């Protein structure tokens, strides 16, 4: 395992001390107390060089990148009585190794399970960095896609390969050259260093699909802790799994539900709306998304359903007026959704993949 040369900040040392206290307080031979539902910690997240960990309930951490390493997606880390469960492994083995090293600052318990919410590269290409004994769990459709030719995945060239990483470096270099003030220059320097590291990181490439698959539901039990892995229907992909902790009232949603427009190039938009209705039936307080910040309540679900319907309606109207998928993609405006969908409006080739997907689904009838 990697040493911790980065445990230099007071916060990281405090995190380590807290983890030790918790470890001694919860001797696995004693039956642990039922987990209490608590408000997310109002204080600062625990920090390592590469990650921030927000403790949403005792032992349940929402893990995000600090900016020093390109992670491209959020993870969930659950510290159980004698092991750790991680949901989603980031975009590269390098990013996943940084996550595992950071988890070692939270606890000395070993990672036993890694769950993939779906097959997309930004949630699974870190899988290969997990120790061999870690069990990788995902939907059977996720395994199927990962057993296929991932280089042929339509979005691979656009967003996942070396060239995509190099073009992000060039874009950031040009932003840096034009940066006006010292503060934005400093932020861009950090981003550029992370992206240059990422260009090398994506060259290390080994697909590790789930060893254990589920169709509908699989539950991980540890003491009073219950992590339900639920397939509620197709949506963002054919195999979206959410991690639901009923006692803590937390759901890690992957890309099925985010506070921004998710990629739709592998989606089933009509079924997605029904799947979101099933998600609404869960008793949760917090949604921890695969991208973006945690949120509570049902407003984000309603907003996203409206976006899905609006996106479909715009594509259908363009198709009915005789446009090809390519032409339609170039004409997509998503009026009123400019901020919510800004990233896809900025990437014409991604928009085309999404529109083409909806055309294909209509063709299939």
The residues that touch Zn ion, with contacts defined as CB under 5 A, are 120, 255
DSSP codes of every residue in 199-254: HHHTTS------SEEESSEEEEEETTEEEEEE----SSSTT--EEEETTTTEEEEE
Given the complex with Zn ion, which of 120 and 139 has the nearer CB atom?
Answer: 120
Cβ distance to Zn ion smaller for residue 119 or 319: 119
CA atoms of 36 and 247, how far apart (whole Å): 7
Alpha-carbon distance of 65 to 74, in angstroms, equals 7
- DSSP secondary structure code for residue 56 in this structure: E
Write the CB contacts of 317 (distance below 8 Å, at least 6 apart in sequence): none
**Least distance in Å: CB of 125 to Zn ion?**
12
The number of CA neighbours under 13 Å toward the Cβ of 342 is 3
Nearest distance in Å: CB 119, Zn ion:
8
Minimum Å gap between C-beta 291 and Zn ion is 8
Closer to Zn ion by CB, 245 or 257: give it: 257
Q: Which is nearer to Zn ion, 129 or 256 (CB)?
A: 256
Nearer to Zn ion, 255 or 300 (CB): 255
Residue 200 beta carbon to Zn ion: minimum distance, rounded to whole angstroms: 24
Q: Choose between 13 and 147: whose C-beta lies nearer to Zn ion.
A: 147
Quote the tokens at residue 96.
């996943």
Three-state SS letters, 152-177: HCHHHHHHHCHHHHHHHHHHHHHHHH
Q: Is 221 left (phi over 0), alpha (psi -120 to 50) or beta?
A: beta
Question: Measured from the CB atom, is 84 or 136 closer to Zn ion?
Answer: 136
Q: Which token pair is 360?
A: 């294909």
Rounded CA gap, 121 and 98, in Å? 17
Please state the closest distance from residue 73 (CB atom) to Zn ion, in A.
8
| Positive or negative: CA dihedral 88, 90, 92, 93 | negative
User: What is the rounded distance in angstroms from the CA atom of residue 195 to the CA atom of residue 168?
Assistant: 7
* DSSP structure class, residue 295: B
CB of 259 to Zn ion, least distance (A): 14
**Based on CB atoms, which residue is closest to Zn ion, 12 or 344?**
344
Whether the CB-CB separation of 142 and 136 falls below 8 Å is answered with no
Shortest distance (Å) from residue 307 CB to Zn ion: 16
CB of 255 to Zn ion, least distance (A): 4
Inter-axis angle of helices 299-320 and 348-364, to 10 degrees?
80
């Amino acid at each position: 395992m990697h040493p911790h040369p980065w445990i230099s900040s007071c916060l990281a040392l405090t995190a380590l001390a807290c983890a030790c206290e918790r470890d001694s307080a919860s001797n696995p031979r004693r039956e642990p107390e039922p987990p209490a539902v608590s408000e997310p910690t109002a204080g600062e997240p625990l920090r390592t060089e590469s990650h921030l960990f927000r403790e949403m309930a005792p032992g349940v951490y929402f893990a995000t990148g600090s900016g020093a390493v390109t992670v491209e997606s959020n993870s969930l880390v659950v510290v159980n009585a004698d092991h750790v469960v991680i949901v989603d492994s980031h975009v590269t083995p390098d990013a996943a190794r940084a996550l595992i090293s950071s988890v070692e600052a939270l606890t000395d318990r070993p990672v036993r399970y890694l769950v993939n919410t779906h097959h997309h590269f930004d949630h699974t290409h870190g899988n290969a960095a997990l120790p061999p004994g870690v069990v990788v769990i995902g939907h059977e459709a996720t395994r199927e896609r990962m057993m296929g030719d991932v280089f042929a995945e339509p979005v691979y060239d656009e967003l996942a390969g070396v060239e995509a990483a190099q073009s992000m470096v060039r874009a950031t270099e040009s932003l840096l050259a034009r940066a006006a003030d010292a503060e934005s220059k400093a932020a861009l320097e950090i981003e550029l260093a992370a992206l240059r590291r990422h260009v090398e990181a994506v060259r290390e490439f080994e697909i590790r699909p789930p060893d254990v698959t589920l169709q509908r539901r699989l539950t991980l039990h540890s003491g009073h802790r219950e992590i339900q892995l639920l397939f509620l229907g197709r949506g963002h992909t054919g195999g979206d799994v959410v991690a639901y902790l009923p006692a803590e009232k937390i759901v890690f949603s992957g890309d099925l539900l985010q506070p921004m427009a998710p990629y739709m190039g592998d989606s089933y938009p009509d079924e997605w709306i029904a799947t979101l209705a099933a998600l609404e039936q869960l008793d949760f307080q917090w949604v921890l998304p695969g991208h973006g910040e945690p949120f509570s309540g049902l407003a984000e679900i309603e907003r996203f359903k409206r976006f899905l319907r609006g996106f479909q309606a715009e594509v259908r109207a363009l198709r009915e007026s005789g446009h090809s998928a390519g032409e339609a993609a170039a004409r997509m405006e998503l009026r009123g959704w400019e901020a919510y969908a800004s990233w896809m409006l900025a990437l014409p080739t991604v928009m085309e993949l999404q529109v083409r997907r909806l055309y294909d689904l209509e063709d299939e009838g």
